[in-house]
Amino acid sequence: MRVYFITIFFLIFGLNFVHAQRFGYIDTDFILNKMPEYGKAQEEINQLSGAWEKEIQEMAKKIESMYSDLQAEQVLLTDQMKKERTASIQKKEAELKEYQKKVFGFGGLFFLKKQELIKPIQDKVWDAVDKVAKQNNLAIVFDKAGELVMIYTDPRHDYTDFVLDELGLGDPNDKIKN
């Protein structure tokens, strides 16, 4: 019903509005991959992530070893000793899950570090996009690297090179600007 109302609204009132607007698109993946500081940030994030994953794997191996030891010695242990070992293993498993959540969960160390390193770079790109949009009188700029599915894009409306120029990363030999 809502889509139907919006469609009717644009058909009656919005055709002139829609035609008066200028649209463009950019490819933020392409832009970010051209930025040396983004590559360095990604490398640091990957190193940290790898180190954390290794720690988690080592913790998991230790728990696995504790299980194996319990299985091997089970016939020699009293019921009380079995309960104590099982409780110890369960405690280690809970610690592992808590650590995984602390590192890789929402708002965890990985998320915070990624935000710390990537957000300033993204802000730089958004500022450049804002300048390019204003310079070219664009009402809307889409990101073809995002979740928006763009079935067809006319290269005349691609402002990626303009944003790269604004960031000082443009190709000086590129003469195909609209």
**Each residue of 107-143: pLDDT tens digit?**
999 999 999 999 999 999 999 998 998 898 888 888 8
pLDDT at 12: 47
Q: pTM of this prediction?
A: 0.68
Structure tokens at 78: 């009293």
φ, ψ for residue 105, nearest 5 deg: -75, 170
Nearest-angstrom CA–CA distance, 132 and 141: 10
Q: What is the mean pLDDT of residues 150-158?
A: 68
Give the domain range for residue 51.
Answer: 2-166
Residue 88, domain member (yes or no): yes
Residue 44, domain member (yes or no): yes
pLDDT at 174: 67
Residue 171, domain member (yes or no): no
Query: What's the number of domains the chain is made of?
Result: 1
Residue 134, domain member (yes or no): yes
Which residues fall within 8 angstroms of residue 146, CB to CB, at 6 or more apart?
28
Nearest-angstrom CA–CA distance, 47 and 54: 11
Q: Any idea which residue has 């832009």 for tokens?
A: 31
- Residues 144 and 153: beta-carbon distance below 8 Å: yes
Residue 160, domain member (yes or no): yes
pLDDT band at 151 (very low <50, low <70, confident <90, very high): very low
Higher per-residue pLDDT: 145 or 92: 92
Nearest-angstrom CA–CA distance, 91 and 102: 16
Residue 136, domain member (yes or no): yes
Residue 173, domain member (yes or no): no
